Amino acid sequence: MNILGISCYYHDSAACLLQDGKVVAAVSEERFNRIKNSEVFPINAINYCIQAGGIAFGDLDYIGFYEKPFLKFSRVIIDHIRAYPFSLRSFLERIPNWLKDRLVLPLILKKELGFDKKVFFVKHHLSHAASAFLVSPFKEAAIITADGVGEWTTTTCGIGRGNDIKIIQEITYPDSLGLLYTAVTSYLGFLAHQGEGKVMGLAAYGQPRYLDKFYKIIQPKPDGSFRINQKFFGFNKGARMYSRQFINLFGKNRKANEGIKQCHCDIAASLQKVTEDTLINIANSLYLNTKMDNLCLAGGVFLNCVANNKIIENTPFSKVYIQPAAGDSGGALGVACCIENLILKRPRKFIMDSAYLGPEFSPIEIKRCLITRNFKFTEFNEDELLEFVAKRILDNKIVGWFQGRSEYGPRALGNRSILANPMFSGIKDLINKKVKKRESFRPYAPAILEEKMSEYFNLTQHSPFMLLAGEVIAEKRELIPGVMHVDKTARVQTVSKQVNPKFWRLIKAFETLTGIPILLNTSFNLRGEPIVCTPNDAVGTFLNSEMDYLVIGDFIASRSEN
Protein backbone atom coordinates (compact mmCIF):
# COMPACT_ATOMS: atom_id res chain seq x y z
CA MET A 1 0.00 0.00 0.00
CA ASN A 2 1.56 3.30 -1.14
CA ILE A 3 0.03 6.54 0.16
CA LEU A 4 1.35 9.99 -0.72
CA GLY A 5 0.55 13.00 1.49
CA ILE A 6 0.87 16.54 0.18
CA SER A 7 0.79 19.98 1.80
CA CYS A 8 1.15 23.16 -0.25
CA TYR A 9 -0.27 26.50 -1.48
CA TYR A 10 0.12 28.43 1.77
CA HIS A 11 3.60 27.98 3.23
CA ASP A 12 6.02 25.12 3.97
CA SER A 13 5.00 22.80 1.12
CA ALA A 14 6.01 19.18 1.64
CA ALA A 15 5.42 15.57 0.62
CA CYS A 16 5.40 12.32 2.61
CA LEU A 17 5.24 8.70 1.47
CA LEU A 18 3.78 5.87 3.56
CA GLN A 19 4.46 2.32 2.45
CA ASP A 20 2.48 -0.38 4.25
CA GLY A 21 1.86 1.99 7.13
CA LYS A 22 5.44 3.17 7.62
CA VAL A 23 6.94 6.52 6.68
CA VAL A 24 9.78 5.93 4.23
CA ALA A 25 10.33 9.52 3.07
CA ALA A 26 9.22 13.04 3.99
CA VAL A 27 10.72 16.37 2.97
CA SER A 28 9.89 20.04 2.38
CA GLU A 29 9.90 21.52 -1.11
CA GLU A 30 12.13 24.39 0.02
CA ARG A 31 15.08 22.03 0.29
CA PHE A 32 14.97 21.50 -3.48
CA ASN A 33 13.84 24.82 -4.97
CA ARG A 34 15.87 26.82 -2.40
CA ILE A 35 12.96 29.20 -1.61
CA LYS A 36 12.51 29.45 2.14
CA ASN A 37 9.03 28.39 3.31
CA SER A 38 8.09 27.68 -0.31
CA GLU A 39 4.33 27.37 -0.92
CA VAL A 40 4.35 25.88 -4.42
CA PHE A 41 3.13 22.45 -5.50
CA PRO A 42 5.91 20.20 -4.11
CA ILE A 43 6.86 18.41 -7.31
CA ASN A 44 10.51 17.99 -6.29
CA ALA A 45 9.60 16.66 -2.85
CA ILE A 46 7.12 14.26 -4.45
CA ASN A 47 9.71 13.03 -6.94
CA TYR A 48 12.14 12.38 -4.11
CA CYS A 49 9.54 10.43 -2.10
CA ILE A 50 8.68 8.27 -5.10
CA GLN A 51 12.35 7.52 -5.74
CA ALA A 52 13.04 6.82 -2.06
CA GLY A 53 10.15 4.36 -2.04
CA GLY A 54 11.47 2.58 -5.13
CA ILE A 55 8.15 2.96 -6.95
CA ALA A 56 6.60 4.77 -9.93
CA PHE A 57 3.70 7.21 -9.88
CA GLY A 58 1.46 4.44 -11.13
CA ASP A 59 2.21 2.43 -7.98
CA LEU A 60 0.52 5.01 -5.75
CA ASP A 61 -2.76 3.76 -4.31
CA TYR A 62 -3.98 7.02 -2.78
CA ILE A 63 -2.97 10.66 -2.57
CA GLY A 64 -4.11 12.91 0.26
CA PHE A 65 -4.19 16.69 0.61
CA TYR A 66 -3.84 18.27 4.03
CA GLU A 67 -6.96 20.44 3.95
CA LYS A 68 -10.31 20.93 2.21
CA PRO A 69 -9.79 23.61 -0.47
CA PHE A 70 -13.45 24.49 -1.08
CA LEU A 71 -14.10 24.94 2.63
CA LYS A 72 -11.04 27.16 2.91
CA PHE A 73 -12.06 29.07 -0.22
CA SER A 74 -15.44 29.85 1.36
CA ARG A 75 -13.67 31.45 4.31
CA VAL A 76 -11.39 33.47 2.02
CA ILE A 77 -14.34 34.79 0.00
CA ILE A 78 -16.47 35.63 3.06
CA ASP A 79 -13.50 37.28 4.77
CA HIS A 80 -12.82 39.50 1.76
CA ILE A 81 -16.48 40.45 1.41
CA ARG A 82 -16.64 41.46 5.08
CA ALA A 83 -13.54 43.60 4.70
CA TYR A 84 -14.51 45.27 1.40
CA PRO A 85 -13.41 47.79 0.11
CA PHE A 86 -10.19 47.55 2.11
CA SER A 87 -9.73 43.95 0.98
CA LEU A 88 -9.89 44.65 -2.77
CA ARG A 89 -6.14 44.59 -3.36
CA SER A 90 -5.75 41.34 -1.42
CA PHE A 91 -8.71 39.84 -3.28
CA LEU A 92 -7.23 40.65 -6.69
CA GLU A 93 -3.87 39.18 -5.68
CA ARG A 94 -5.14 35.96 -4.11
CA ILE A 95 -8.19 34.78 -6.04
CA PRO A 96 -6.38 34.05 -9.36
CA ASN A 97 -4.20 31.53 -7.54
CA TRP A 98 -7.26 29.76 -6.20
CA LEU A 99 -8.81 29.51 -9.64
CA LYS A 100 -5.54 28.44 -11.23
CA ASP A 101 -4.68 25.43 -9.09
CA ARG A 102 -5.97 25.28 -5.52
CA LEU A 103 -9.54 24.34 -6.42
CA VAL A 104 -8.57 21.82 -9.09
CA LEU A 105 -5.94 19.72 -7.31
CA PRO A 106 -7.04 16.39 -8.87
CA LEU A 107 -6.41 17.95 -12.30
CA ILE A 108 -3.00 19.16 -11.15
CA LEU A 109 -2.17 15.66 -9.91
CA LYS A 110 -3.23 14.15 -13.21
CA LYS A 111 -1.19 16.70 -15.16
CA GLU A 112 1.96 16.53 -13.03
CA LEU A 113 1.92 12.89 -11.93
CA GLY A 114 -0.48 11.14 -14.28
CA PHE A 115 -2.49 10.17 -11.20
CA ASP A 116 -6.21 9.57 -11.74
CA LYS A 117 -7.10 7.41 -8.72
CA LYS A 118 -8.76 8.42 -5.44
CA VAL A 119 -7.68 11.73 -3.89
CA PHE A 120 -8.66 12.36 -0.26
CA PHE A 121 -9.04 15.83 1.23
CA VAL A 122 -8.75 15.97 5.02
CA LYS A 123 -9.45 18.98 7.23
CA HIS A 124 -6.33 20.96 8.05
CA HIS A 125 -6.46 20.53 11.81
CA LEU A 126 -7.35 16.85 11.58
CA SER A 127 -4.18 16.48 9.49
CA HIS A 128 -2.27 18.25 12.27
CA ALA A 129 -3.82 16.03 14.95
CA ALA A 130 -3.02 12.89 12.96
CA SER A 131 0.56 14.03 12.36
CA ALA A 132 1.10 14.03 16.11
CA PHE A 133 -0.98 11.21 17.57
CA LEU A 134 -0.85 8.55 14.86
CA VAL A 135 2.99 8.51 14.84
CA SER A 136 3.35 8.94 18.61
CA PRO A 137 4.35 6.15 21.00
CA PHE A 138 1.00 6.47 22.81
CA LYS A 139 -1.95 4.08 22.52
CA GLU A 140 -4.17 6.91 23.73
CA ALA A 141 -3.60 10.61 24.28
CA ALA A 142 -5.21 14.01 24.47
CA ILE A 143 -4.45 16.19 21.43
CA ILE A 144 -4.13 19.95 20.93
CA THR A 145 -3.57 21.64 17.57
CA ALA A 146 -2.97 25.36 17.12
CA ASP A 147 -1.79 27.49 14.21
CA GLY A 148 -2.80 30.57 12.22
CA VAL A 149 -5.84 29.14 10.48
CA GLY A 150 -6.76 26.10 8.45
CA GLU A 151 -10.09 26.26 6.65
CA TRP A 152 -12.00 27.96 9.47
CA THR A 153 -10.43 26.30 12.49
CA THR A 154 -7.47 27.79 14.38
CA THR A 155 -7.31 25.55 17.46
CA THR A 156 -8.66 22.12 18.35
CA CYS A 157 -8.75 19.76 21.30
CA GLY A 158 -9.23 16.08 20.73
CA ILE A 159 -8.77 12.51 21.89
CA GLY A 160 -6.77 9.80 20.17
CA ARG A 161 -7.32 6.10 20.86
CA GLY A 162 -5.77 3.32 18.83
CA ASN A 163 -6.17 4.36 15.21
CA ASP A 164 -9.01 6.80 15.82
CA ILE A 165 -9.15 10.54 16.54
CA LYS A 166 -12.14 12.48 17.85
CA ILE A 167 -12.15 16.30 17.87
CA ILE A 168 -14.10 17.51 20.93
CA GLN A 169 -13.56 21.29 20.81
CA GLU A 170 -12.77 23.83 18.07
CA ILE A 171 -11.92 27.52 18.04
CA THR A 172 -12.50 29.21 14.69
CA TYR A 173 -11.21 32.16 12.71
CA PRO A 174 -10.64 35.00 13.41
CA ASP A 175 -9.89 33.91 17.00
CA SER A 176 -6.35 32.66 16.44
CA LEU A 177 -3.35 32.48 18.73
CA GLY A 178 -1.14 31.81 15.72
CA LEU A 179 -2.35 34.88 13.82
CA LEU A 180 -1.91 36.98 16.95
CA TYR A 181 1.71 35.84 17.25
CA THR A 182 2.35 36.42 13.55
CA ALA A 183 0.73 39.87 13.60
CA VAL A 184 2.95 40.98 16.49
CA THR A 185 5.93 39.42 14.72
CA SER A 186 5.29 41.68 11.73
CA TYR A 187 4.64 44.67 14.03
CA LEU A 188 8.11 44.10 15.51
CA GLY A 189 9.67 44.27 12.05
CA PHE A 190 10.17 40.58 11.27
CA LEU A 191 8.76 38.53 8.41
CA ALA A 192 5.49 36.66 8.95
CA HIS A 193 5.89 32.86 8.98
CA GLN A 194 9.66 33.27 9.32
CA GLY A 195 10.29 35.65 12.20
CA GLU A 196 8.20 34.05 14.95
CA GLY A 197 11.24 32.21 16.30
CA LYS A 198 13.11 35.51 16.43
CA VAL A 199 10.35 37.00 18.57
CA MET A 200 10.56 34.00 20.91
CA GLY A 201 14.31 34.62 21.26
CA LEU A 202 13.85 38.36 21.70
CA ALA A 203 11.34 37.78 24.51
CA ALA A 204 14.11 36.63 26.84
CA TYR A 205 15.58 40.15 26.80
CA GLY A 206 12.38 41.75 28.05
CA GLN A 207 9.82 41.70 30.82
CA PRO A 208 6.06 41.15 30.26
CA ARG A 209 5.23 44.77 31.07
CA TYR A 210 2.46 44.93 28.46
CA LEU A 211 0.35 42.04 29.73
CA ASP A 212 -2.54 44.33 30.65
CA LYS A 213 -2.62 45.62 27.09
CA PHE A 214 -2.47 42.13 25.61
CA TYR A 215 -5.40 41.09 27.75
CA LYS A 216 -7.38 43.84 26.04
CA ILE A 217 -6.72 41.87 22.85
CA ILE A 218 -7.15 38.28 23.99
CA GLN A 219 -9.74 37.05 26.48
CA PRO A 220 -9.16 33.48 27.75
CA LYS A 221 -12.23 31.55 28.96
CA PRO A 222 -12.51 28.98 31.79
CA ASP A 223 -13.29 26.21 29.30
CA GLY A 224 -9.92 26.72 27.57
CA SER A 225 -11.31 28.74 24.68
CA PHE A 226 -10.37 32.36 23.98
CA ARG A 227 -11.52 35.33 21.95
CA ILE A 228 -9.45 37.87 20.01
CA ASN A 229 -10.61 41.50 19.87
CA GLN A 230 -10.71 42.13 16.14
CA LYS A 231 -10.52 45.90 16.31
CA PHE A 232 -6.76 45.52 16.76
CA PHE A 233 -6.32 43.56 13.52
CA GLY A 234 -7.15 43.66 9.84
CA PHE A 235 -6.06 40.40 8.32
CA ASN A 236 -7.51 41.19 4.87
CA LYS A 237 -7.86 44.96 5.00
CA GLY A 238 -4.52 45.95 3.54
CA ALA A 239 -0.81 45.25 3.55
CA ARG A 240 -0.45 44.72 7.30
CA MET A 241 -2.08 42.37 9.81
CA TYR A 242 -2.49 44.86 12.68
CA SER A 243 -4.71 47.93 12.78
CA ARG A 244 -4.30 51.58 13.72
CA GLN A 245 -5.83 50.73 17.13
CA PHE A 246 -2.98 48.28 17.72
CA ILE A 247 -0.44 51.03 17.02
CA ASN A 248 -2.33 53.39 19.31
CA LEU A 249 -2.13 50.76 22.07
CA PHE A 250 1.55 49.83 21.71
CA GLY A 251 3.15 52.71 19.85
CA LYS A 252 4.80 53.05 16.46
CA ASN A 253 5.67 49.78 14.76
CA ARG A 254 9.32 48.86 14.24
CA LYS A 255 10.72 48.86 10.70
CA ALA A 256 12.90 45.95 9.62
CA ASN A 257 16.04 48.09 9.42
CA GLU A 258 15.54 49.89 12.73
CA GLY A 259 17.36 49.10 15.93
CA ILE A 260 15.69 47.06 18.65
CA LYS A 261 14.63 48.99 21.74
CA GLN A 262 13.73 47.75 25.20
CA CYS A 263 10.05 48.34 24.49
CA HIS A 264 10.29 45.84 21.60
CA CYS A 265 11.82 43.26 23.92
CA ASP A 266 9.06 43.87 26.47
CA ILE A 267 6.32 43.53 23.85
CA ALA A 268 7.88 40.24 22.71
CA ALA A 269 8.08 39.04 26.33
CA SER A 270 4.45 39.98 26.92
CA LEU A 271 3.33 38.20 23.74
CA GLN A 272 5.29 35.11 24.74
CA LYS A 273 3.82 35.13 28.23
CA VAL A 274 0.22 35.50 27.07
CA THR A 275 0.79 32.72 24.52
CA GLU A 276 2.17 30.39 27.19
CA ASP A 277 -0.65 31.18 29.63
CA THR A 278 -3.32 30.66 26.97
CA LEU A 279 -1.86 27.30 25.91
CA ILE A 280 -1.53 26.19 29.54
CA ASN A 281 -5.18 27.13 30.10
CA ILE A 282 -6.22 25.07 27.06
CA ALA A 283 -4.14 22.08 28.17
CA ASN A 284 -5.38 22.15 31.77
CA SER A 285 -8.98 22.36 30.60
CA LEU A 286 -8.42 19.42 28.25
CA TYR A 287 -6.89 17.39 31.06
CA LEU A 288 -9.93 18.02 33.26
CA ASN A 289 -12.14 16.71 30.44
CA THR A 290 -10.04 13.66 29.55
CA LYS A 291 -7.89 12.75 32.59
CA MET A 292 -5.38 11.28 30.12
CA ASP A 293 -1.70 11.00 31.00
CA ASN A 294 -0.35 11.69 27.50
CA LEU A 295 -0.58 14.79 25.32
CA CYS A 296 0.17 15.25 21.61
CA LEU A 297 0.76 18.72 20.16
CA ALA A 298 0.80 19.87 16.52
CA GLY A 299 0.47 23.04 14.45
CA GLY A 300 2.88 25.90 13.92
CA VAL A 301 2.26 27.36 17.38
CA PHE A 302 4.00 24.31 18.86
CA LEU A 303 7.29 25.13 17.15
CA ASN A 304 7.53 27.49 20.13
CA CYS A 305 9.88 25.39 22.27
CA VAL A 306 9.63 27.70 25.29
CA ALA A 307 5.85 27.41 25.41
CA ASN A 308 6.04 23.64 24.90
CA ASN A 309 8.11 23.17 28.03
CA LYS A 310 5.85 25.52 30.00
CA ILE A 311 2.96 23.20 29.14
CA ILE A 312 4.91 20.23 30.50
CA GLU A 313 5.82 22.11 33.68
CA ASN A 314 2.38 23.57 34.38
CA THR A 315 -0.09 20.81 33.49
CA PRO A 316 -0.76 17.33 34.92
CA PHE A 317 0.18 15.51 31.68
CA SER A 318 2.96 12.98 32.25
CA LYS A 319 4.32 12.78 28.69
CA VAL A 320 4.13 15.14 25.73
CA TYR A 321 4.89 14.22 22.12
CA ILE A 322 5.58 16.68 19.28
CA GLN A 323 6.81 15.40 15.92
CA PRO A 324 9.64 17.34 14.20
CA ALA A 325 7.53 18.93 11.41
CA ALA A 326 4.88 20.38 13.72
CA GLY A 327 4.03 23.19 11.29
CA ASP A 328 2.33 22.98 7.91
CA SER A 329 4.99 20.75 6.36
CA GLY A 330 3.82 18.10 8.83
CA GLY A 331 0.38 18.22 7.21
CA ALA A 332 1.74 15.94 4.48
CA LEU A 333 2.55 13.34 7.13
CA GLY A 334 -0.80 13.87 8.85
CA VAL A 335 -3.01 13.39 5.80
CA ALA A 336 -1.12 10.25 4.77
CA CYS A 337 -1.67 8.82 8.26
CA CYS A 338 -5.34 9.84 8.14
CA ILE A 339 -5.83 7.78 4.99
CA GLU A 340 -3.91 4.80 6.37
CA ASN A 341 -5.39 4.70 9.87
CA LEU A 342 -8.64 6.69 9.98
CA ILE A 343 -10.10 6.08 6.52
CA LEU A 344 -8.77 2.64 5.62
CA LYS A 345 -8.89 1.54 9.30
CA ARG A 346 -5.49 -0.11 9.09
CA PRO A 347 -3.65 -0.53 12.42
CA ARG A 348 -0.80 1.79 13.34
CA LYS A 349 2.67 0.40 12.59
CA PHE A 350 4.99 3.38 12.85
CA ILE A 351 6.44 5.51 15.65
CA MET A 352 8.33 8.61 14.56
CA ASP A 353 11.45 8.71 16.70
CA SER A 354 13.66 10.04 13.90
CA ALA A 355 13.46 13.09 11.64
CA TYR A 356 15.96 11.70 9.12
CA LEU A 357 13.57 11.12 6.23
CA GLY A 358 15.02 13.30 3.47
CA PRO A 359 17.61 12.77 0.73
CA GLU A 360 21.01 11.19 1.29
CA PHE A 361 23.98 10.92 -1.04
CA SER A 362 26.53 8.20 -1.69
CA PRO A 363 30.28 8.68 -1.21
CA ILE A 364 30.66 8.63 -4.99
CA GLU A 365 28.13 11.43 -5.44
CA ILE A 366 29.79 13.51 -2.71
CA LYS A 367 33.27 12.95 -4.10
CA ARG A 368 32.13 13.83 -7.63
CA CYS A 369 30.68 17.10 -6.33
CA LEU A 370 33.88 18.04 -4.50
CA ILE A 371 36.03 17.28 -7.53
CA THR A 372 33.72 19.19 -9.85
CA ARG A 373 33.94 22.23 -7.56
CA ASN A 374 37.76 21.94 -7.56
CA PHE A 375 37.81 21.31 -3.83
CA LYS A 376 40.86 20.04 -2.01
CA PHE A 377 39.76 17.44 0.51
CA THR A 378 40.97 14.52 2.60
CA GLU A 379 39.17 11.22 3.12
CA PHE A 380 39.08 9.73 6.62
CA ASN A 381 37.79 6.58 8.21
CA GLU A 382 35.06 7.28 10.75
CA ASP A 383 37.20 7.05 13.91
CA GLU A 384 39.83 9.39 12.49
CA LEU A 385 37.18 11.79 11.23
CA LEU A 386 35.39 12.05 14.57
CA GLU A 387 38.63 12.64 16.49
CA PHE A 388 39.79 15.28 13.97
CA VAL A 389 36.49 17.16 14.03
CA ALA A 390 36.19 17.08 17.83
CA LYS A 391 39.68 18.58 18.16
CA ARG A 392 38.97 21.31 15.62
CA ILE A 393 35.74 22.23 17.44
CA LEU A 394 37.67 22.42 20.71
CA ASP A 395 40.01 24.87 18.93
CA ASN A 396 36.92 27.07 18.32
CA LYS A 397 36.70 26.23 14.63
CA ILE A 398 33.28 26.32 12.97
CA VAL A 399 32.34 23.12 11.15
CA GLY A 400 29.75 22.48 8.47
CA TRP A 401 28.51 18.93 9.12
CA PHE A 402 26.70 17.10 6.29
CA GLN A 403 25.81 13.45 6.91
CA GLY A 404 23.20 10.85 5.94
CA ARG A 405 19.56 11.74 5.30
CA SER A 406 18.36 15.30 5.72
CA GLU A 407 15.87 16.21 8.44
CA TYR A 408 12.09 16.55 8.07
CA GLY A 409 10.92 19.78 9.63
CA PRO A 410 12.58 23.15 10.29
CA ARG A 411 15.30 22.00 12.71
CA ALA A 412 18.78 20.76 11.83
CA LEU A 413 19.30 17.75 14.07
CA GLY A 414 22.84 16.68 13.34
CA ASN A 415 22.75 15.75 9.66
CA ARG A 416 22.64 19.22 8.08
CA SER A 417 24.21 21.21 10.89
CA ILE A 418 26.83 23.81 11.70
CA LEU A 419 28.73 22.72 14.81
CA ALA A 420 30.88 24.65 17.24
CA ASN A 421 32.29 24.77 20.77
CA PRO A 422 29.61 25.34 23.45
CA MET A 423 32.30 26.17 26.04
CA PHE A 424 33.46 29.32 24.26
CA SER A 425 31.51 32.40 25.43
CA GLY A 426 32.29 34.29 22.22
CA ILE A 427 31.13 31.58 19.85
CA LYS A 428 27.72 33.16 19.19
CA ASP A 429 29.28 36.41 17.98
CA LEU A 430 31.82 34.45 15.96
CA ILE A 431 29.15 32.43 14.12
CA ASN A 432 27.02 35.52 13.57
CA LYS A 433 29.99 37.34 12.08
CA LYS A 434 31.53 34.54 10.01
CA VAL A 435 28.53 32.47 9.01
CA LYS A 436 24.94 33.34 9.83
CA LYS A 437 24.93 37.14 9.52
CA ARG A 438 21.83 37.18 11.71
CA GLU A 439 20.51 39.19 14.66
CA SER A 440 22.85 39.21 17.64
CA PHE A 441 20.10 38.45 20.17
CA ARG A 442 19.29 35.01 18.76
CA PRO A 443 20.70 32.04 20.71
CA TYR A 444 22.25 28.82 19.49
CA ALA A 445 21.19 25.37 20.59
CA PRO A 446 22.97 22.56 22.44
CA ALA A 447 22.98 18.99 21.15
CA ILE A 448 23.62 16.72 24.13
CA LEU A 449 24.03 12.99 24.60
CA GLU A 450 20.56 11.77 25.53
CA GLU A 451 21.75 9.98 28.65
CA LYS A 452 23.44 13.14 30.02
CA MET A 453 20.47 15.50 29.62
CA SER A 454 19.44 15.61 33.28
CA GLU A 455 22.98 16.55 34.33
CA TYR A 456 22.78 19.86 32.44
CA PHE A 457 19.13 20.84 31.85
CA ASN A 458 15.95 21.02 33.90
CA LEU A 459 13.85 18.94 31.53
CA THR A 460 11.57 16.10 32.54
CA GLN A 461 11.65 14.32 29.18
CA HIS A 462 13.96 13.96 26.21
CA SER A 463 13.86 16.49 23.37
CA PRO A 464 15.03 14.65 20.22
CA PHE A 465 13.54 17.21 17.82
CA MET A 466 14.80 20.40 19.51
CA LEU A 467 11.26 21.40 20.50
CA LEU A 468 11.74 21.94 24.24
CA ALA A 469 13.61 24.76 25.96
CA GLY A 470 14.81 24.05 29.47
CA GLU A 471 16.74 25.95 32.09
CA VAL A 472 20.46 25.19 32.36
CA ILE A 473 21.29 23.75 35.78
CA ALA A 474 23.00 26.46 37.85
CA GLU A 475 26.30 24.68 38.45
CA LYS A 476 26.70 23.96 34.72
CA ARG A 477 26.11 27.46 33.40
CA GLU A 478 29.74 28.54 33.41
CA LEU A 479 30.67 25.42 31.43
CA ILE A 480 28.46 26.01 28.37
CA PRO A 481 27.99 29.78 27.88
CA GLY A 482 27.95 29.39 24.09
CA VAL A 483 24.58 27.62 24.08
CA MET A 484 22.85 29.37 26.97
CA HIS A 485 20.37 32.15 26.28
CA VAL A 486 20.27 35.37 28.29
CA ASP A 487 17.49 33.94 30.49
CA LYS A 488 19.64 30.87 31.36
CA THR A 489 17.62 28.55 29.13
CA ALA A 490 18.56 26.54 26.05
CA ARG A 491 16.62 24.95 23.18
CA VAL A 492 17.81 21.40 23.72
CA GLN A 493 18.34 18.51 21.31
CA THR A 494 18.91 15.15 22.97
CA VAL A 495 20.89 12.78 20.73
CA SER A 496 20.25 9.05 20.85
CA LYS A 497 22.98 6.54 20.04
CA GLN A 498 20.38 4.31 18.38
CA VAL A 499 18.81 7.02 16.21
CA ASN A 500 21.92 8.92 15.07
CA PRO A 501 25.02 6.90 15.99
CA LYS A 502 27.53 9.01 14.03
CA PHE A 503 26.45 12.32 15.55
CA TRP A 504 26.29 10.67 18.98
CA ARG A 505 29.86 9.40 18.56
CA LEU A 506 31.08 12.87 17.56
CA ILE A 507 29.59 14.41 20.71
CA LYS A 508 31.11 11.54 22.68
CA ALA A 509 34.52 12.28 21.15
CA PHE A 510 34.17 15.91 22.24
CA GLU A 511 33.22 14.74 25.73
CA THR A 512 36.35 12.57 25.84
CA LEU A 513 38.46 15.65 25.17
CA THR A 514 36.62 18.09 27.44
CA GLY A 515 34.28 16.29 29.81
CA ILE A 516 31.37 18.19 28.19
CA PRO A 517 28.85 15.95 26.33
CA ILE A 518 27.48 18.83 24.26
CA LEU A 519 28.07 20.53 20.91
CA LEU A 520 26.62 23.79 19.66
CA ASN A 521 24.25 22.88 16.83
CA THR A 522 22.65 25.32 14.40
CA SER A 523 21.18 24.79 10.95
CA PHE A 524 23.48 24.53 7.93
CA ASN A 525 22.28 27.58 6.01
CA LEU A 526 22.85 31.28 5.63
CA ARG A 527 20.36 33.89 6.78
CA GLY A 528 17.21 33.84 4.66
CA GLU A 529 18.04 30.53 2.96
CA PRO A 530 16.66 27.03 3.53
CA ILE A 531 18.82 24.38 5.16
CA VAL A 532 21.17 22.73 2.66
CA CYS A 533 19.96 19.56 0.98
CA THR A 534 22.58 18.39 -1.51
CA PRO A 535 26.39 18.25 -1.44
CA ASN A 536 26.40 21.10 -3.94
CA ASP A 537 24.26 23.20 -1.56
CA ALA A 538 26.69 22.45 1.25
CA VAL A 539 29.73 23.45 -0.81
CA GLY A 540 28.05 26.67 -1.98
CA THR A 541 27.04 27.66 1.54
CA PHE A 542 30.52 26.83 2.83
CA LEU A 543 32.12 29.05 0.16
CA ASN A 544 29.71 31.92 0.87
CA SER A 545 30.45 31.89 4.59
CA GLU A 546 33.60 31.79 6.66
CA MET A 547 33.24 28.33 8.16
CA ASP A 548 36.59 26.74 8.88
CA TYR A 549 35.84 23.15 7.84
CA LEU A 550 33.33 21.28 5.72
CA VAL A 551 32.75 17.70 6.81
CA ILE A 552 30.68 15.96 4.17
CA GLY A 553 30.32 12.21 4.45
CA ASP A 554 33.82 10.89 5.14
CA PHE A 555 35.52 13.84 3.45
CA ILE A 556 36.92 16.95 5.11
CA ALA A 557 37.76 20.20 3.34
CA SER A 558 39.35 23.17 5.08
CA ARG A 559 38.91 26.83 4.25
CA SER A 560 42.66 27.42 4.34
CA GLU A 561 43.15 24.96 1.46
CA ASN A 562 40.20 26.19 -0.58
pLDDT reported for residue 410: 97
Q: Are 260 and 441 within 8 A, CB to CB?
A: yes
Which listed CATH number (3.40.50.10070, 1.10.1740.10, 3.20.20.70, 3.90.870.20) goes with 363-561? 3.90.870.20
pLDDT reported for residue 240: 83
pLDDT reported for residue 237: 61
The boundaries of every CATH 3.90.870.20 domain in the chain are 363-561
The boundaries of every CATH 3.30.420.40 domain in the chain are 2-66+68-121+328-343, 171-321
Q: What is the DSSP letter of 487?
A: T
CA angle 343-349-355, nearest 5°? 105
How far from the centroid of its chain's Cα atoms is residue 161's Cα? 26
**Which H helix or E strand runs over 184?**
helix 177-187
pLDDT reported for residue 236: 63
For 348-403, what is each residue's pLDDT tens digit?
A: 999 999 999 999 999 999 999 999 999 999 999 999 999 999 999 999 999 999 99
pTM of the model: 0.96
Using alpha carbons, select from 404, 441, 423, 424 the residue that is nearest to residue 524. 404
Cβ neighbourhood burial of 371 (10 Å; 0-12, 13-18, 19+): exposed
Which segments of the chain have a pLDDT < 50?
Answer: none
Which listed CATH number (3.30.420.40, 3.40.50.1000, 2.60.40.1180, 3.30.450.20) goes with 2-66+68-121+328-343? 3.30.420.40
Report CA dihedral (322, 325, 329, 332) to the nearest 10 degrees: -70
pLDDT reported for residue 92: 84
Name, in order, each residue with C-beta under 8 angstroms of 31's C-beta and a sequence gap of 6 or more. 45, 358, 359, 406, 530, 531, 533
pLDDT reported for residue 451: 98
Could you give the strand order of the β-sheet that contains 294-298, starting from the edge strand earlier in sequence?
164-172, 153-161, 140-146, 294-298, 319-321
Looking at domain 171-321, its CATH class is alpha beta
